[in-house]
Amino acid sequence: MKLVRTPAEPSATPSTQSARHTWKLLVVDDEPDIRELTRFNLRGFRFADRDLEIIEAASAYEAREVLKQHSDIAVALVDVVMETDDAGLRLVEFIRKELKNPMVRLIIRTGQPGMAPERQVIDHYDIDDYKDKTELTAGRLYTTVRSALKAYRDLRTIDLNRVGLSQVLDAAPDIYRITNRSLDQFFQGVLTQIVGLCNLSDSSFISTMGGVIATFEDSDITVQASSGNLASQERFTEIRAQCADTIRTGRLPEGLRKGAYVVPLLVQRKALGFIYIEPTHELNEADRNLITVVAQQCSSALENLRLHIDLSQSYDHMIDMLATIAEFKDHTTGSHIQRIDQYTRLLAAELGSSEDEALLYGKASRLHDVGKIGISDALLCKPGKLDAAEFAIIKTHTTMGGTILAHDHFLELAREVALHHHERWDGKGYPDGRPSREYQLVTRIVSVVDVFDALVSHRPYKKPWTPQDAALEIRNNSGTQFDPTIVTAFLKLFEAGAFDAIIQSAQREDALPEALLPAIQGA
């Protein structure tokens, strides 16, 4: 995987940008002269290409209000004796325990060391340094503040990496049963790690410059994760064409910002996307190598997603083929299978299933009558009532369906539906005669919607019922044939009109001339 570096921009750009982003230093002291002297001694201070912004507070109380407004203060110089003899120490406890801010570097600076002995303060308070005001010359103050800022920057970088790693680890188990949700989390975690690695951030900690992970989808470029000002459509539009051309042609882009990097996401030598970053400083070789490794992990995730999509599509095609075979075999049921799918998904969602679960249930429901492949056309299309022997043969479509679907574990849910959708709540159904409460939710849902759709549809042996009469029949069999909870949810949706479009499709099919039904239903 090749890392492409863009040409540098004029050197004026970084200083122009960094002027907008400063390190914040809080000076807490009740002596105006001390605050003024601190400001004077730190004039012109810069660290990591950023200026110093000094914020003053004349008391611990005032400092608390400032800290609530500025969560990104990097260093605080805190006097001990102010409105009370231990006001500064109480402020330290407030910062660490109430604000729960472990990042800001706290430096105790006192002119009365006898009031707060150094060892006692160091041992009992979470501070980072202790200074007597008399020893803080201009040079010592410079060194102290610079060291504290460096520690703050490094801690924030570590924390960004921790957050990114946490997101990646949370998403990793789902990469192999991947969903769009887990992939989004994975990419955002990866980008967060790169942000920490490259000292980027979308907060004022380092810079509004950031990064983006994007993928190619046909002729489109889709953002999978973004940070900093690259999250805006305007900024991404500015760089995406140049990045895409760089990946596709291998030519270095022109006009991108100084130090920007483009890393291709390659799967089998084919570019599926890119990582684009705008670091605030020159990256060393180790950083670039690590970014390349991260890009390879992104590429692996994309490959897993492609394989998942291929497998999912193959599964869908297999279900569609089996369902189509069942429709060709029993053309008297028309588009019954599609309608059962729609009913099932709506009812599953009403009962609290997730969108993914409802979709899976709908697919499984499509194969509920696949066993009719093994039933003769004469019985399936018989216009009159079946005798006991004929009905016994019809009932075998459940066990035949279970046998057909038993050869692949991906079809286990569909197998249960096919085998047990004629079981009853009171245990008087078939083929096993066990209470339907023992079976999964989708099986009990299909038991209800299968009967309802059969009642409102034309059959060789009966005319369609009105939807109201069919719904009443479902209600009357609640607690005997059907799960009462599912019946309640079904009737709620029915009365709200949620099923109207599905019912109308059955009625339109019934209105067709009977001679045309087999041709249309088999199409």
Distance CA(171)–CA(183), nearest Å, equals: 7
Task: Taking the CA atoms of 21, 23, 28 and 31 in sequence, report the sign of the dihedral they define.
Answer: negative
Which among 368, 363, 319, 351 is positioned nearest to 498, based on CA atoms? 351
**Residues 334, 509: contact at Cβ < 8 Å?**
yes
Which tokens hold the place of 240?
């995406």
Is the separation of the CB atoms in 40 and 89 below 8 Å? no
Instruction: Determine which one of 100, 133, 372, 463 is catalytic.
Output: 372
The string over 163-198, giving b where at least 16 C-beta atoms fall within 10 Å of a residue's C-beta and e elsewhere, is bbeebbeebeeebeebeeebbebbbbbbbbbbbbbb
What's the angle, vertex CA 491, arms to CA 485 and CA 496, rounded to 5? 130
d(CA 114, CA 378): 105
Give the whole-angstrom CA distance, residue 350 versus residue 276: 43
CA distance 464 to 238: 61
The three-point CA angle 34-71-133 to 5° equals: 20
Number of Cβ within 10 Å of residue 318's Cβ equals 16
Start-to-end CA distance of the chain, whole Å, equals 50
Query: What is the C-alpha radius of gyration for the chain, rounded to an integer number of angstroms?
Result: 35
Residue 256: in which H helix or E strand, if any?
Answer: none
Cis amide leading into 7 (omega within 30): no
Angle at 342 between CA 339 and CA 347, to 5 degrees: 125
> Is 279 within 8 Å of 262 (Cβ atoms)?
no
- What per-residue string of b and e applies to 98-137 under the rule 16 or more CB within 10 Å gives b? eeebeebbbbbbbeebeebeeeebeeebebbbbbebeebe
The set of residues, in sequence order, having a beta carbon less than 8 Å from that of 319 and lying 6+ positions away, is 363, 366, 367, 411, 414
The verdict on whether 395 is a catalytic residue reads: no
Q: How far apart are the C-alpha atoms of 211 and 160, rounded to whole Å?
A: 14
Residue 13: phi and psi, rounded to 5, are -60, -50
Residue 457, CA distances (Å) to 162, 339, 445, 486, 503 in order: 59, 11, 18, 21, 9
- How far is the C-alpha of 221 from the C-alpha of 174, rounded, in Å? 24
Annotated catalytic sites, by residue? 372
